[in-house]
A and B are shown apart, each in its own frame.
Chain A
Amino acid sequence: MPKKLGIVIAGLALFLLIGGGCTRTDAPADVSTDTDAPVEDTSPIKLGWLGPLTGDVSSVGTADREAAELAVTEINEAGGINGRMLEVTYEDGFCEGKTALAGGTKLINVDEVVAIVGGFCSGETLAVAPSAEEKHVVMLSPGSTAPSVTEAGDYIFRVVPSDGFQGKYAAEFVYNTLEKKKVAIVYAITDYAEGLANVFEEEYKKLGGEIVVKDSFLQESRDLKAQLTKVKNSEAEVLYFPTYTEAGVVGFKQAEELDLGIQILGPETLSDEKLVTAQGAEGTLYTVPVSNESEAFKTKFLEETGRDDMPVYASQTYDAVKILAQVIESVGTNGEDIKNELYNVKNYEGVSGMIGFDENGDLTSAEYKVMIIKDGKSEDYTK
């Protein structure tokens, strides 16, 4: 056999050896090895956190990371979980599937975490869900609101309500409160925004309203003049604008430049500081899930992190860590046990509100309110 081919075969054989030798690590089901130990284990319990540390939604992601860290500190200062310290590995999801999958896979296969707080963006969660499902690793998301996450798997939970609620709330708000009957929808093509756009459309039409324009853009788009021109040219009275931060900034700016002249309404992503202070944001409305966060928590969080405002989903992140810790404390670190016990959580009093999971791992109810952007700040909207 020629030398070259021999080298190639030898190289591949080497891979096979490595692969064969390590095949044991890929046994399905349990990732952890702790529950078999008869002796008391004092090694740290490892959780994973997956969210946008860089990129479009990074200001929210990094803020929510701090909420997680606060929860971890509190848990460890109180003695940890059954005497074991809690350790969290933070991975960047970049608010998109590809990067999130790399981070999530690392958490599951390399770090072998017991559970994951995350993904944050719906696209992140949906990309990692199949792997988590397969390897029996629970994912508890503090921010993935896309309706499609409901069916993402048995191991996928969230402490935020599905946008099936938020889209409906927004549609009802526009039709009943603002009393507008014609809406244009311009949405980012992401699981989250597209989910909202579709729910809004469906609910708004049910109420009797008309969707005069439905157009979309890529999240990386930095020029929305085409879409906004179409909206301007239509009879739309309101623009429903589900988007993440960077494209949102562009949309606000260009809407002002084109003198769009109609009310803009968006979802909770518009609460990002970069958007609230952006050019053209004045007067924009957005819906947010109501967080009945205790003043105590708010004060503590703002004090510990030195921030001025509560970032969206910070209390949910905090709750997610705390709930997982509590569940692990009672049933141990086996993925399946954790999953089963989570379904029993019905009345957990979290800082973000009362938490209970239905048979899909979704919150059973949701409450929203509307905010308005005025002078670079958000305040409650009152008609």
Chain B
Amino acid sequence: MLSAFFIHIAVIIVIYAILAVSLNVAVGYTGLLNLGHIAFFGIGAYTSALLTKNDVPYIMALLASGIFASVFGWLLAKITSRLKGDYLSLATLGFGFVVYAVMLNWSKLTRGPLGIAGIEKPNIFGWYLKGSGSYLIFASIIAAIIIFIIYKIVKSRYGRLLEAVRDDAIGAQALGKNIYKLKIQGLMISAFFAGIAGSLYAHYISYIDPSTFFISDIIVIFTIVIVGGLASLRGSVISAIIILGLPEMLRFVDLPSSMIGPMRQMMFAVILILILMFKPRGLFGKIDLE
């Protein structure tokens, strides 16, 4: 059934839209180039999967995913607090690698490369999300709430403080605002929502393993965020639709399945390079990538 296919794409887009928006909070608004953002996604996914496997009710697991991921956001902010520029981004990348290595090696907890299969569909106060259609509705509701919350944050005075941190404004320091604390909070917020996205992902796909949260997915979300434009929530959402929707057109061309995977990755890479070369602000971006 074709509509089953479209619903599937829609769910993925919604989840990645949340992920992209959360990354934008860190990169676009707080100016922290977190190349390891996918780690928060993965931590949320594993947290939610493991908790529900141990009979924790879904809503609690969902929240726990966000909270636990934000703890790691705090950790990352602490680790990189004295770093800037190249050092900062590379350290965040290193952080992402280490989280991946832990997922891979702490097999008593995560089952390592075997992954966790059979992650159950959520049951929310009696609403059992068995079908993809109902999952789409649920995910969309969560996404709408999250985007609304983030919108409120960035438009508020607090949001302007974050942007001041990004712009390295002398004004921010002069006002006596604790830049250090703001950076930590920015990363924690970013991580929290990425963790929620991770939970949504895990319970939709029903199987996760460490390889999902490694390099190639880092490239995908950065492509989405950069193409959409930094500091633009609308940009991230629309970009997610385009970037994830476009390669699906490949399925309608008669290609052997072994070619679709690599071609998809190549499409992402090409789009990213083209945007960086010709329109680095992205579609709706307000600032340059620094």
Contact = CB atoms under 8 A, between A and B. Distances in A.
Partners in one complex: yes
Interface of A: 4-5, 7-9, 11-12, 15-16, 18-28, 53-54, 91-92, 96-98, 101, 103, 105, 109-110, 112, 123, 126-127, 129-131, 134, 189-191, 194, 218-219
A5 B151 contact: yes
Contacts of B148: 5
A54 B6 CA distance: 26
Contact of B14 (A15, A112, A134): A15
Interface string B104-118: 100100001111011
Contact of A21 (B3, B5, B134): B3
A351 B22 CA distance: 56
Interface string B39-62: 000000000000000000000000
Contact of B257 (A53, A126, A189, A190): A53
B5 A110 contact: yes
Interface stretch (B92-100, B167-175, B204-212, B266-274): B204-212
A19 B117 contact: no
B234 A18 contact: no
Interface of A, secondary structure class, is helix
A152 to B, nearest CB: 9
B255 to A, nearest CB: 12
B257 A92 contact: yes
B23 interface: no
Contacts of B14: 12, 15
Q: Which 8 A-B pairs have the closest CB atoms?
A: A26-B131, A23-B133, A19-B136, A130-B118, A22-B3, A54-B258, A4-B234, A19-B133
Given A189-B113, A190-B113, A12 B131 contact: no
Contacts of B237: 8, 11
Interface of B, secondary structure class, is helix
A21 B115 CA distance: 33
Given A15-B14, A54-B258, A28 B130 contact: yes
Contacts of A91: 257
Nearest to B138: A19
Contacts of B112: 189
Contacts of B115: 97-98, 127
A87 B114 CA distance: 32
8 contacts: A4-B233, A16-B140, A22-B3, A53-B257, A54-B257, A97-B207, A129-B118, A219-B113
Contacts of A21: 3
Nearest to B129: A26
Interface in B1-60: 1-8, 10, 13-14
B83 interface: no
A210 B280 CA distance: 62
Contacts of B140: 12, 15-16, 19
Interface string B126-154: 00001111101100100110011001000
Given A18-B3, A97-B117, A109-B8, A25 B207 contact: no
B71 interface: no
A109 B113 contact: no
Contact of A27 (B131, B205, B212, B257): B131
Nearest to B130: A28
Contacts of A54: 257-258
Contacts of B10: 15, 18-19
A219 B211 CA distance: 12
A279 to B, nearest CB: 26
Contacts of A129: 117-118
Interface in B69-128: 104, 107, 112-115, 117-118
Contacts of A11: 237-238, 241
A53 B257 CA distance: 9
Nearest to B261: A99
A102 B209 CA distance: 13
Contact of B130 (A5, A9, A98, A134): A134
Contact of B117 (A20, A22, A126): A126
Contacts, number: 126
B262 to A, nearest CB: 10
A268 B69 CA distance: 43
A190 B234 CA distance: 42
Contacts of B257: 53-54, 91-92, 103
B90 to A, nearest CB: 24
A16 B137 contact: yes
Given A16-B140, A91-B257, A110 B1 contact: yes
B234 A7 contact: yes
Contacts of B133: 19-20, 22-26
Residue from the set A53, A130, A190, A194 with the largest chain B CB neighbour count within 10 Å: A130
B117 A8 contact: no
Contacts of A22: 1, 3-4, 6-7, 133
Given A15-B136, A23-B131, A134-B130, A101 B207 contact: yes
A18 B7 contact: yes
Given A18-B7, A22-B4, A127-B117, 4 more contacts: A12-B14, A26-B134, A126-B117, A127-B207
Nearest to B257: A92
A105 B206 CA distance: 11
Contacts of B1: 22, 25, 109-110, 112
A194 B114 contact: yes
Residue from the set B5, B206, B207 with the largest chain A CB neighbour count within 10 Å: B207
Nearest to B135: A19
A52 B264 CA distance: 20
B234 A26 contact: no
Nearest to B10: A15
Contacts of A25: 1, 3-4, 131, 133
